[in-house]
Amino acid sequence: MALPGTVGRSKSELVDDAVKYMWRHGTPITATTKAQGPIAVSGQGVHITDIDGNTYLDGLGGGSAAATIGYGQKEVADAVSEQLTRLHYASTRTFLNEPAIELARRIAEIAPGDLTTSFFTSSGSEAVETAAQIIKAYHKQKGQPGKTKVIYRKTGFHGVGITAASASGSPDYRDWFQPLIPGFIEVPTCYTYRRPEGQSVEDYAEACAQAIEDEILRQGPDTVAALFAESIPAGLILPPTQSYLKRLREICDRYDVIWLDDEVFIGFGRTGKYFGSEHYGVVPDIATASKGITGGYVPLGAAVVSQRMMDVIFGDGGAGQAKIHGHTYSGHAAACAAGIAVMDILARDGLVDNVARLGDKMLNAFSEFGADHPNVGDVRGKGFLIAIELVEDKETKKPFAASSGIGRGVVAAAMKENFLLRSARDVVAQSDGFEIGDIITLFPSFVATEAEVDQMIDITKRAITAACGQAS
Ligand SMILES: Cc1ncc(COP(=O)(O)O)c(C=O)c1O
């Protein structure tokens, strides 16, 4: 009899079946065979164990930042199980359900400013798609149907739908899926480390913001609906300056361009605050969230809409009825029950504060390490969202050649010590004219203890030194 969650087949049978029957994403399908797994079977805290009994220290929150409150949180499982047994499903088209109402209320409580109203989805991509539709409805309802274009930033990533792909910068997420939606316009990202030589950070940030305003004016403000911009872009981990986001807010206000703050990666605590925008004292018009809402226990996403947009969309008594359709699983009771349990745990265990405190510790430790290391060009991040950008030459900021495989070398060296981290170069292709070095990224679960964080710091430093040592 197989254990719950396992199917009682050997690892080699599972690997064969994976290659034959399962389209694994994020890697060529043949990589499953080459890598021989690993196949994850259990987890506790910040540790995940594979089918061979190897236990890994997870610096990636489950690989994609979703496992925010760590593995094995029984209270979440109990809340889901309880809800599934009592009422597993009732469409929110027909019935309201208690967990969905309560979770929406709790989100409004923690969300910044007047972000009051959650439209639930089952993923981040669906939340982005939903937000895009709500934005269109807002402009139509306001009598400005010509506002349909979307400004997005070069290194942004917003998910796998065609709307998201149209607003994502990397060719990896775009090129195969052309033609994309017309009227999506790319502008620069605020990537302060890679600013032009001699320019101050503030001047550079201002120029990046100005480029957005210029683009809106070039396109015609009455044609531009939205700016899709993560408050802290997570792909390459690029915290902007304080003034930059304030300027974006002003620009959006000036031209009635809706700022969609995509917080799918960072929302619900990853940066040491519930929402990334809070670090900058600005409030988006609409925010999307997903991973952190349920900590990866069950799929759930949300587009959280501001009251000012709601007032327009439903202002005349609902004649707009912006989005009458929804997903079969919008507001799924068990997913929302998980969300409530996760929010309870975040608050009870002070996990967002833990992220802020230990994130600072990590950032400081890597900054000190980087100051003395010839190949650490930049260390940046907020909370448990940390990037270490490696370069061949610190003076000129010249990246290592892609062929040197430095990033992969760091990941492999860490893996030898059973520690999981990521190299962003492997997942974000180089955009035209944009030098992207090997960016080592860490985004662990919020439950990491100080000792576990110390261990992550030590292994990362060793792995960087080993991989860079081999390259030189
Ligand atoms: C910023 C951002 N937006 C959207 C998405 C897409 O979310 P999902 O993978 O749940 O569809 C992601 C996923 O990583 C993301 O990081």
Token reading at 153: 């930033």
Closest-CA residue, ligand 1 atom 7, reads 124
* Cα(106)–Cα(42) distance, integer angstroms: 30
Q: Are residues 317 and 391 in the same domain?
A: no
**Residue whose C-alpha is closest to residue 379's, from 392, 364, 394:** 364
* CATH code of the domain covering residue 459: 3.90.1150.10
Residue 145 above 50 pLDDT? Answer: yes
- Say what the pLDDT of residue 325 is: 75
Q: What is the mean pLDDT of residues 136-154?
A: 94
Domain assignment present for 25: no
* Distance (Å) from CA 158 to ligand 1 centroid: 5
When divided into structural domains, the chain yields a total of: 2
* Cα(446)–Cα(353) distance, integer angstroms: 9
Domain assignment present for 32: no
pLDDT confidence tier of residue 430, bands split at 50, 70 and 90: very low
* Distance (Å) from CA 265 to ligand 1 centroid: 6
Q: Are residues 310 and 169 in the same domain?
A: yes
pLDDT in tens, 162-201: 999 999 988 878 888 899 999 999 999 999 999 999 999 9
Domain-ending residue, one of 348, 363, 390: 348
Structure pTM?
0.95
pLDDT in tens, 50-80: 999 999 999 999 999 999 999 999 999 999 9
* Cα(399)–Cα(423) distance, integer angstroms: 13
Q: Please tell me if the CB atom of residue 192 comes closer than 6 angstroms to any atom of ligand 1.
A: no
Q: Please tell me if the CB atom of residue 293 comes closer than 6 angstroms to any atom of ligand 1.
A: no
Domain-ending residue, one of 348, 382, 406: 348
* Distance (Å) from CA 356 to ligand 1 centroid: 22
Domain-ending residue, one of 293, 321, 348: 348
Q: Are residues 118 and 43 in the same domain?
A: no
* Cα(156)–Cα(179) distance, integer angstroms: 19
Residue 17 above 90 pLDDT? Answer: no
pLDDT in tens, 108-121: 999 999 999 999 99
**Residue whose C-alpha is closest to residue 186's, from 201, 171, 205:** 171
* Distance (Å) from CA 120 to ligand 1 centroid: 15
Domain assignment present for 139: yes
* Cα(53)–Cα(75) distance, integer angstroms: 25
Q: What is the mean pLDDT of residues 247-257?
A: 98
* Cα(443)–Cα(79) distance, integer angstroms: 26
Q: Are residues 55 and 136 in the same domain?
A: no
User: Which domain covers residue 251, as residue numbers?
Assistant: 76-348
* Distance (Å) from CA 234 to ligand 1 centroid: 10
Output the average pLDDT for the chain: 92
Pocket test for ligand 1, best of 121, 126, 262, 290 (most atoms within 8 A of CB): 290
* Cα(151)–Cα(157) distance, integer angstroms: 13
Q: Are residues 61 and 89 in the same domain?
A: no
C-beta of residue 302 within 8 angstroms of C-beta of residue 119: yes
Domain assignment present for 12: no
H helices of 301-430, in order, are: 307-313, 333-348, 351-372, 406-416
Closest-CA residue, ligand 1 atom 10, reads 124
Q: Are residues 185 and 260 in the same domain?
A: yes
Q: What is the mean pLDDT of residues 310-328?
A: 75
C-beta of residue 457 within 8 angstroms of C-beta of residue 419: no
Residue 380 above 50 pLDDT? Answer: yes
pLDDT in tens, 338-371: 999 999 999 999 999 999 999 999 999 999 999 9
Q: How many CB atoms lie within 10 A of CB 181?
A: 15
Domain assignment present for 31: no
Pocket test for ligand 1, best of 64, 68, 123, 125 (most atoms within 8 A of CB): 125
Q: Are residues 408 and 462 in the same domain?
A: yes
Domain assignment present for 10: no
Residues in the chain: 472
- Say what the pLDDT of residue 432 is: 47
- Evaluated on CA atoms 38, 51, 355, 103, the torsion sign reads positive
Closest-CA residue, ligand 1 atom 8, reads 124
Backbone torsions φ then ψ of 148, nearest 5 degrees: -130, -15
* Cα(359)–Cα(143) distance, integer angstroms: 46
Counting from 1 in the atom list of ligand 1, the atom nearest the Cα of 126 is 11
Q: Are residues 169 and 291 in the same domain?
A: yes
CA atoms within 13 A of residue 394's CA, in its CB half-sphere: 12
Q: Are residues 58 and 86 in the same domain?
A: no
In our burial notation (b when 16+ CB lie closer than 10 A, e otherwise), range 90-129 reads eebeeeebebbeebbebbeebbbbbbbbbbbbbbbbbbbb
Q: Are residues 223 and 333 in the same domain?
A: yes
* CATH code of the domain covering residue 148: 3.40.640.10
Closest-CA residue, ligand 1 atom 13, reads 159
Backbone torsions φ then ψ of 10, nearest 5 degrees: -70, 165
Q: Are residues 451 and 342 in the same domain?
A: no
pLDDT in tens, 206-235: 999 999 999 999 999 999 999 999 999 999
Estimate to the nearest angstrom the gap between the alpha carbon of 103 and the chain centroid. Answer: 20
Q: Are residues 355 and 467 in the same domain?
A: yes
The residue type found at 237 is I
Q: Please tell me if the CB atom of residue 129 comes closer than 6 angstroms to any atom of ligand 1.
A: no
Counting from 1 in the atom list of ligand 1, the atom nearest the Cα of 123 is 10
- Say what the pLDDT of residue 1 is: 46
Closest-CA residue, ligand 1 atom 14, reads 265
Backbone torsions φ then ψ of 117, nearest 5 degrees: -125, 120
Domain assignment present for 330: yes
